[in-house]
Amino acid sequence: MKFSGLQIIIILSAVAIGAALFFARTTPNEKEVAAKQKVEKNVEDQSGSTGSESDINAQIDSALTKVRSEAPMAGIMKLREIAENNPENIRVQMELGALSIQTGQLDKAVTRFKRVIELDTNFIEAHYLLAVVNANKGDTLSATKGMEFVVDNAGNPELLKQGKEFYKELKKN
């Protein structure tokens, strides 16, 4: 599959914005806190879990370091293992979704972001990235619906701004 220059720019900007927004979340609302606590409890209760949330986050950080170094496949395999053992961990699903975008595996990205939305229907960044991926796959209807959700629900001003701009572009086409 070949991407045009515009599609590549959209994908890279979506990944950068998504990653920045995902890691810059500083003031979670009550729903986010409740969802996080639910995920933490599910992770702790899960058989085959690799440990507490802080242990899992440390493993994710280590895997991401490998992805960015000389052993990217080893890091990706570790992330996939973490996701398999902790399927309700939102962070690992988001990281794998972002990596799927970077490698052009858009169907896998869709699967990851849909999984995050199943776990937390109000995880706006997942809706945003899913809409971007759908747009790049040519599914304008799904992309438009997803971006409408972002515009209607984003609490983050930067994400709201990006969502509105992207929504306008989708409506033009």
- Whole domain around residue 164: which residue ranges? 5-172
Q: Which one-letter amino acid corresponds to residue 122?
A: N
**CATH code for the domain of 64:** 1.25.40.10
CB 109 within 8 Å of CB 103: no
* pLDDT at residue number 43: 41
CB 167 within 8 Å of CB 144: yes
pLDDT per residue over 89-144, tens digit each? 999 999 999 999 999 999 999 999 999 999 999 999 999 999 999 999 999 999 99
Confidence band of 35 (pLDDT split at 50, 70, 90)? low
CA distance 4 to 53: 40
Return the residue matching tokens 């169907």.
107
Say yes or no to pLDDT of 19 above 60: no
Q: Which of 37-41, 51-55, 65-69 has the highest mean pLDDT?
A: 65-69
Domain count, the chain: 1
* 0.85 surpassed by pTM: no
- The pair of three-digit structure tokens given for residue 76, joined into one six-digit string: 């990706």
